[in-house]
Chain A
Amino acid sequence: MKRWLAILLLLPAIATAGSLQPLTPTDVPALLAPPAHGERLIALWALDCAYCEPNLQALARLQQAHPQAIELVTVATDDMGHHDAIEKRLRAAGMAAWPARAYAEAAPERLNYLLDPQWGGETPRVLVIRADSSRQGFSGELTAKQLQALAPKP
């Protein structure tokens, strides 16, 4: 009985730990708002994209190297309906610790457009939002050089 109880008590914690949050069009302005300092990296990825996971991991390493200057948010362009598959993939890639969102919009291309009108939906895509309000978008797995350029200047 005690073991049962322990499992039951743990379940809500397991269910909410690093849990995936929906991204709706109304959430976009807050996500794109300049951070107070440094930069926010919005890492767009998709379940059907073999290039995406190594890209997420590279961004995670960059964020860990500069935890004060860089904020990392992962956004799956797959619908929130694929919740379980998205969370499973994030866990398998060692990405469960970062804030994670998934599309929750009837017309996903509309969300693409709201996030970045210059983006055709190719993945991976990284949006850089800087404290000085400047923005940049990169398509494809980032090269070592591109990653280095994203690191804060000493």
Chain B
Amino acid sequence: MRRLLPLLLCLVAPMALAHQGMAMPTEAPLGASAAFDAQGRLWVADAADGHVRLRHSDDLGHTLSAPVAVNPTPEPIYAEGENRPKLAFGPHGELYVSWSQPRAKPWTGYVRFARSLDGGAHFSAPVTVHRDRAEITHRFDALAVDGEGRVVLAWIDKRDQAAAEAAGKPYLGAAVYYTWSDDRGAHFQPERALAQHSCECCRIALAATPEGHVAAFFRAVYGDNIRDHAYALLRTDGGAVQAQRATFSGWHIAGCPHHGPGLAIAADGTRHAVWYEASGKPTIWYGQLQPGHRAAHAQAIAGPGASHADLAVHGAKVWVAWNQVDARGEALMLRRSDDGGLHFGPARRLATANGAVASPQLLLREGRAYVAWNTATGFRLLATEDTP
């Protein structure tokens, strides 16, 4: 019998180890955000080993600095798919970072925030920005800074869904909540509901208006699981907020699209937007939002295999970038309009990747557009035009 034991252990141990090995993520997740600061320095926020980390580049992404950990104590961090750490800059060089922290139960999270007032050398202790501490969804955070320097955060929140469920009442989707800070992220206002019945699993797009407000564009639920999009201003003056339906595709799905929209507002106030729907064949649409009405100049940008579009606008130029997959793998695609979004040129392949890729992000620097693309083989910054 005693002789049998070691033999049995030999049989069992590799199995146990194989299981353990599979449970351990081998690489940093790909959810990352990139942005240029006022000086033109590129910053990249992502997550590794329980830390949100920041790197910067002064040579347009060719080389990245050593990472600085934002949260000193490791914690779980959502950094995949539509969830990724965010970063934004204040008017006086402040660096703001937010992320969503998974809780023990599935589909739950807290929205976390930290700031640096010394150019990214040191960060404040992370805080949870919402008062509600129920173990429910508060995730898919989106971060922006308004014209007055207020730090604005919006996220998907299931407190109203949970309350309805407890009362035995039906409730479709989740809600969007938001908060802001008037003191550079030292304190946050009690959170406010922006809209009921949002999609549960799609990123929220935020953009600044010419008046300096922050606007949100997000997937909402209308009627019986029609998943179109809504537009709303995130008011910080205490006034009533109103989300208005802004797309009318009529895509019915009792499910998770995992596909949030993109928004870029031009200096003249034109709300350029991209969104995804599959009421017919999967399509990425471009349009100019007219909240309450169908978008103007709506046109299909890409079809099946296209996902996770982002856009940027500068003067009459509008760029749209997206991931395009086929049997060979992923490609980063781009279309450009030179007439303010009335017409778009042909799709151009900027890059390809063999492995996994994250959602592309269009960034502007001195009137030029770049695409930040995090891939399994590393972070890439791609110029959209031939650089002089």
B325→A113 contact, CB < 8 A: yes
B330 / chain A contacts, CB cutoff of 8 Å: 107, 109-110
- From A5, A113, A119, name the one whose CB has the most chain B CB atoms within 10 angstroms: A113
B107 / chain A contacts, CB cutoff of 8 Å: 48, 50
B307 / chain A contacts, CB cutoff of 8 Å: 109, 120-121
A81→B22 contact, CB < 8 A: yes
B106 / chain A contacts, CB cutoff of 8 Å: 47-48, 50, 89
Give the dominant DSSP class at B's interface: loop
CA distance A62 to B204 in the complex (A): 37
A141→B254 contact, CB < 8 A: yes
A46→B256 contact, CB < 8 A: yes
B255 / chain A contacts, CB cutoff of 8 Å: 49, 51-52, 122-125, 139-141
Q: Does B4 contact A (CB under 8 A)?
A: yes
Q: Does A117 contact B (CB under 8 A)?
A: yes
Using CB atoms, name the residue of chain A closest to B356. A107
Choose the segment among B11-19, B89-97, B175-183, B293-301 that binds chain A (4+ C-beta atoms closer than 8 Å): B11-19
Map CB proximity to B onto A36-77 as digits: 1 under 8 Å, 0 otherwise.
000000000011111110000000000000000000000000
Q: Does A149 contact B (CB under 8 A)?
A: no
Q: Does B326 contact A (CB under 8 A)?
A: yes
Q: Does A30 contact B (CB under 8 A)?
A: no
- Residue pairs across A and B with CB atoms within 8 Å: the count is 128
Q: Does A17 contact B (CB under 8 A)?
A: no
Interface band, chain B: 35 or more
Q: What is the distance, in angstroms, from A111's C-beta to the closest C-beta of chain B?
A: 9
A106→B305 contact, CB < 8 A: no
Q: What is the distance, in angstroms, from A22's C-beta to the closest C-beta of chain B?
A: 10
Known: A118-B281, A140-B225. A83 touches B22 (CB 8 A): yes
Q: What is the distance, in angstroms, from B204's C-beta to the closest C-beta of chain A?
A: 16
Count residues on chain A whose CB falls below 8 Å from chain B CBs.
43
CA distance A117 to B282 in the complex (A): 10
- From A4, A47, A114, A120, name the one whose CB has the most chain B CB atoms within 10 angstroms: A120
Q: What is the distance, in angstroms, from B107's C-beta to the closest C-beta of chain A?
A: 6
B256→A49 contact, CB < 8 A: yes
Instruction: Enumerate B287-324 residues with CB–CB distance to A below 8 Å.
Output: 304-305, 307, 323
Q: What is the distance, in angstroms, from A89's C-beta to the closest C-beta of chain B?
A: 7
B355→A5 contact, CB < 8 A: no
A113→B305 contact, CB < 8 A: yes
Q: Does B201 contact A (CB under 8 A)?
A: yes
Map CB proximity to B onto A127-145 as digits: 1 under 8 Å, 0 otherwise.
0000000000001110100
Question: Which of the residues A8, A50, A117 comes within 8 Å of B8, measured between beta carbons?
Answer: A8
Instruction: Enumerate A72-127 residues with CB–CB distance to B below 8 Å.
Output: 80-85, 89, 106-110, 112-114, 117-125
CA distance A139 to B253 in the complex (A): 6
Q: Does B87 contact A (CB under 8 A)?
A: no
A48→B356 contact, CB < 8 A: no
Q: What is the distance, in angstroms, from A70's C-beta to the closest C-beta of chain B?
A: 21
B252→A140 contact, CB < 8 A: yes
Question: Which of the residues A8, A9, A107, A140 comes within 8 Å of B254, measured between beta carbons?
Answer: A140
Q: Does B163 contact A (CB under 8 A)?
A: no
Known: A51-B254, A109-B325, A110-B327. A83 touches B23 (CB 8 A): yes
A107→B256 contact, CB < 8 A: no
16 contacts between A and B (CB under 8 A): A4-B5, A5-B1, A8-B8, A8-B9, A47-B106, A49-B256, A50-B256, A51-B254, A82-B23, A109-B307, A112-B325, A113-B326, A118-B281, A122-B255, A125-B255, A140-B225
Given A106-B355, A118-B304, A124-B255, 8 further pairs, Cβ under 8 A: A4-B5, A5-B4, A12-B11, A51-B254, A81-B24, A107-B354, A113-B327, A122-B253
Chain B residues at the A interface, C-beta cutoff of 8 Å: 1, 4-5, 8-9, 11-12, 15-16, 19, 22-26, 81, 106-107, 200-201, 225, 252-259, 276, 278, 281-282, 304-305, 307, 323, 325-330, 353-357, 376
A-B pairs, 5 with minimum CB distance = A140-B253, A140-B255, A120-B282, A106-B355, A141-B254
